[in-house]
Chains A and B, each alone.
Chain A
Amino acid sequence: MMENDSPMVKITNIHKVFPQDVHVLCGIDLEVKKGETVAILGASGSGKSTLLRCINFLEEPTAGTVEVDGITIEAGENDKLRNGRIRDIRKRTGMCFQAFNLFPHMTVLENIIEGPVTVLRQKKEAATAYAEQLLQWIGLSEKSDEHPSRLSGGQQQRVAIARSLAMKPKVMLFDEPTSALDPELVGEVVEVMERLAKEGMTIVAVTHELHFARDVADRILIMDNGNWVEQGPPEKIFNNPEQERTRQFLAHIL
């Protein structure tokens, strides 16, 4: 209720330089409000994944500040408690990968309770009860005891979403969650993401899935060469883009 206007994610002046002076992010700012859904679009190699990975420190930013749910971490800080704070951010941040990255040696249910039991030290029974609710919510209750390899790509990605949600995250990050899927399986994953957005989850999604970008996202950001090109509500970006670069990019994906 309180601080309802303070952003869930606030990124200030993030730079990322890979070895050999590969400058991938060039001073990016991003604020995402509670409950907001933003879609990040941009050509391959423009730095979208790197930005997303800087939010939960899978990638260490070279400069700048990341704030998630009130936890602030500066790039290059030298603080003993820093790793603990990074984990605190990760506990509040769910992430879904293009390649799903489910744990192949565990069943679907074990995948989902792994975080709550190992990281949050929940009781196995409590974690299992919640996992079963999540499985029902993604429509895969009957797959609970299967290993991930027995599932289709779309089912695996839905399980990966459930695995993240089991941590009760404050914000969900999606990195091209449907890019590795056969076209006929994209819909079931987008549908789950859409329901998540409707239920008020804060979402940052890198995706070229048009329905999600146009009809689900509250705001679209276009990235090019590690900079924002343009941002705004979907209607404006799709119907009335200001920048030539945006027009070129949209022509490419539409």
Chain B
Amino acid sequence: MKADTNLSEGSGIPAEARKILTQIETDRAAYKRKLVISFIILAIAMIMVLIALKLDFRFMKNQLPFIFAGMGYTLLVSFMAISLACFLAVVGALGRLSKNPVFNSIASSYVSLIRGTPLLVQVYMWYLALPQIGKALEGYGFTGIQAFFTLPALTAGILALGVCYGAYMTETVRAGIQSIDPGQTEAANALGMTRSQTMKRIIFPQALRVIIPPVSNEFIAMIKDSSLVSLMGVWELSYRAIKMGRRHFQSLEMLITVALIYWMMCILLQYFQEKLETHMARGDRSIR
């Protein structure tokens, strides 16, 4: 079963070497056993703390369906925003690497501005400040533009998160592209490929393997940051939990409940991320 000890019997490995190998194997098994025991003790301790706090578990259970109903918004916001972020990241990275001064300066300013300001401020910018910009523009004769600049909460949230994460991911994508050996570009150029053919056929497919793990990390972070749209009254997970907690003066129960829901979602996503990474690593071995 253990793939890392494929010692066939009688393969000429001296007895003392085999003894050391067995010792290493025993140590490793012991470590794993102790690790599992530690985790179990930690979990029990946490449950005991929750019990000691005299939480109203029945209330938590009764409110669960109401909170879970916000899952749809949380996932919708996260998926839409990460899609937007991926698109902006690719365009942004090409801009940051571009020799065109206009394109390059726009991309660099985008990254600098967004990374240099709090996400919270950005969320309010999209939601509360944008209509005012629309109003100012109406003053310059763009009639009807204010309605266009007044965004529904959901849209504002998706734009805020997508644009913000797009800026961070721009740097991830740029680093991924730059990590590819310049020899690859030279080989493609020597065949007569254009710049865009080289990017599309040679560089990007290779960069993708480098980019996917950090991007799935960003996605996990995004799930949690999507709770910021609750500030604008979108009925997603945390909004519902906070509302119910306040109404019944049982915020502790509701916050713990919603925290556990986020945690479970992230554990699930992390599991898929690890699967994806081992899958890609397998491809890597056949490639390197």
| Residue ranges of A at the interface with B (Cβ–Cβ < 8 Å) | 56, 58, 87-88, 90-91, 93-95, 97, 99, 101-105, 114-115, 118-119, 147-150, 160, 163-164, 167
Q: Report yes or no: A105 in contact with B206, Cβ–Cβ below 8 A.
A: yes
**Chain B residues with CB under 8 A of A163:** 191
Q: Report yes or no: A58 in contact with B287, Cβ–Cβ below 8 A.
A: no
For the complex, give the distance between the alpha carbons of A250 and B169 in Å: 54
Knowing A101-B183, A103-B202 touch, does A95 contact B287 (C-beta < 8 A)? no
Q: Report yes or no: B286 in contact with A103, Cβ–Cβ below 8 A.
A: no
**Chain A residues with CB under 8 A of B183:** 97, 99, 101
**Chain A residues with CB under 8 A of B286:** 147, 149-150
30 examples of A-B residue contacts, CB within 8 angstroms: A58-B186, A58-B189, A87-B192, A88-B192, A90-B190, A90-B192, A91-B191, A91-B192, A93-B190, A95-B187, A97-B186, A99-B183, A101-B187, A103-B206, A104-B288, A105-B205, A105-B287, A115-B191, A115-B192, A118-B193, A118-B201, A119-B192, A119-B193, A147-B287, A149-B287, A150-B286, A160-B187, A163-B191, A164-B190, A167-B192
Q: By CB atoms of chain A within 10 A, which of B206, B209, B287 has the most?
A: B287
Interchain CB contact (< 8 A) of A95 among B190, B194, B205 = B190
| Residue ranges of B at the interface with A (Cβ–Cβ < 8 Å) | 181, 183-184, 186-194, 197, 201-202, 205-206, 209, 286-288
**Chain A residues with CB under 8 A of B197:** 118-119
Q: Look across to chain B and name the residue whose beta carbon is closest to the beta carbon of A57.
A: B189
**Chain B residues with CB under 8 A of A90:** 189-192
Q: Report yes or no: B184 in contact with A114, Cβ–Cβ below 8 A.
A: no
For the complex, give the distance between the alpha carbons of A221 and B188 in Å: 28
Knowing that A56-B190, A101-B184 touch, tell me 4 more A-B residue pairs with CB under 8 angstroms.
Answer: A101-B186, A103-B206, A105-B206, A115-B191
**Chain B residues with CB under 8 A of A93:** 190
For the complex, give the distance between the alpha carbons of A115 and B194 in Å: 11
For the complex, give the distance between the alpha carbons of A99 and B287 in Å: 16
Interchain CB contact (< 8 A) of A167 among B186, B191, B201, B206 = B191
Write the nearest CB–CB distance from A174 to chain B, whole angstroms: 12
Q: Report yes or no: B187 in contact with A103, Cβ–Cβ below 8 A.
A: yes
Q: Look across to chain A and name the residue whose beta carbon is closest to the beta carbon of B189.
A: A58
Interchain CB contact (< 8 A) of B287 among A104, A118, A119 = A104
**Chain B residues with CB under 8 A of A58:** 186, 189-190
**Chain A residues with CB under 8 A of B190:** 56, 58, 90, 93-95, 164
Knowing A104-B206, A118-B197 touch, does A149 contact B288 (C-beta < 8 A)? yes
